[in-house]
Amino acid sequence: MLSYEECVEYINNIPKYAKCVSLEDTNKIMNMLTGGKSVPKIIHVAGTNGKGSVCAYLASILRKAGKSVGMFTSPHLVDMRERISLDGELISKEEFVKHFHKLKDAIENKPINYFTYLFLLAMSYYCQENPDYLILETGLGGRLDATNSVEDKCLTVISEIGFDHMQVLGDTIEKIAGEKAGIVRKDTPLVFINKRKEAADVILAANEEAGNTIDNCFILNYKDIHISEESADYLTYSLDNNYVHIDNIRLNTVARYQCENASLAIMGIKALNENISDETIREGLEAMHWPGRMEKIAEGIYIDGAHNEDGIQAMLDTVSHMEGKKKLIFAVVSDKDYEVMIRSIVGSQAFDQVMVTTTGQDRKTDADMIKNIFVKEAKDAGIDGLKVTTCKGAKEALEAMKEEGYKVIITGSLYLVADIKRALQGAL
């Protein structure tokens, strides 16, 4: 039997985007692993940005209400087991190894990619533990995602939709929304945010095509959210629309975009008809901590996993409300639309200094090339005085954070967030 470390190494050697069995075959393997059993109540969450946070807020509220909750999310930052949690605790190494071998024996020589392998391992574990609720976050898209092999769901949620993974999901918002909306099921409540009309229209059409009416939908609009207080550690807001009115919601984050994700979770809880009180909802939201999303790692130092245009804009919205001088530490992987991301950052004039580093191993970009794009964008925009430098990696970036008098924002990639976290733990 392989050790936990050997299991992780085995999975890490599985190609992430390799050919994989169909959803039908994924479902068959899942039934083979579980003996046809399923978790009674499954919540399925898709979206471009914020879906992991929505999952975490939902789980925190349900747990405060006394429910047992499994949560499958991606990616992980440091430990692969972060993807598979039950009641806030990571799957144990012993259980991981047990279900790894169970799956390895079941799939024989079938082609299974990295994400599907972890999903099936997780489902084997959750069906054994049988929580009251299981929250599944899609990995990529929705329609063809391994998590969509689950047919019976009690709730579907779609967070913000924007441009990302266009080489797989399509090059228009409509195409991307169509892939995300593939998680919709008949007679299953659907919660989504209406930020782009072209995305909302596609989601509503998918809901109708599934055999539902508009009464099945709980739609969040940005105007429903009213922020009343912001500090260096938390913010307070209210949510008011046709479905829910709840005030004095406190989130332990400075990230303004988390108000949207928390609100989607609130509306999802209301759609479940569990009769969970507003006070329990408030307690659940305040208790939630989701790493790498404007996470404060030291006084005045924040890490944020923004890695696409909309994520960067959301990060900048928060940074624009911060006082004082600010420094950006930035890295991005090669398959992202980094020129658009950099243009938004430079145009915001939110930062006095930028330090470019690298991340993402075989997908990394050259730091000098990225630096030159920052310099060019600043020149083209007529912005003088932006200091742009480079550093070799997370260790050197950590040293750069020690300069006094600056707030430091580290962003551009979840790989960079993971690098920083490992460096803080002394693992680099």
Q: Which of 32, 34, 129 is nearest to 90 (CA)?
A: 129
Q: Is the predicted pLDDT of residue 98 greater than 60, yes or no?
A: yes
Q: In b/e form, how buried is each residue of 7-43, taking b as 16+ CB within 10 angstroms?
A: bbeeeeebeeeeebbebebbbebbebbbeeebbebbb
**pLDDT of amino acid 166:** 67
Q: Is the predicted pLDDT of residue 36 greater than 90, yes or no?
A: no
Q: Which of 128, 121, 151, 133 is nearest to 40 (CA)?
A: 133
Beta bridge partners of 225: 239
CA atoms within 13 A on the CB side of 376: 10
* Residue positions counted in the chain: 428
Q: Tens digits of per-residue pLDDT, 206-243? A: 999 999 999 999 999 999 999 999 998 999 999 999 99
**Omega before residue 75 within 30° of 0, cis:** yes
The CATH number of 4-287 is 3.40.1190.10
Q: Is the predicted pLDDT of residue 246 greater than 60, yes or no?
A: yes
- Distance from C-alpha of 385 to C-alpha of 271, rounded to nearest angstrom: 51
Average pLDDT estimate for 298-319: 94
Q: Which of 94, 105, 81, 98 is nearest to 29 (CA)?
A: 105
- Domain locations in the chain as residue ranges: 4-287, 295-424
Q: Is the predicted pLDDT of residue 428 greater than 60, yes or no?
A: no
Q: Tens digits of per-residue pLDDT, 386-425? A: 999 999 888 888 887 777 788 999 999 999 999 999 888 8
Task: Specify the CATH architecture of the domain 295-424.
Answer: Alpha-Beta Complex (3.90)
- In degrees, to the nearest 5, what angle opens at C-alpha 114 toward C-alphas 367 and 133? 110
Q: Is the predicted pLDDT of residue 110 greater than 70, yes or no?
A: yes
Average pLDDT estimate for 24-31: 93
Q: Is 371 left (phi over 0), alpha (psi -120 to 50) or beta?
A: alpha
**pLDDT of amino acid 101:** 97
Q: Tens digits of per-residue pLDDT, 133-166? A: 999 999 988 999 999 999 999 999 999 998 887 6
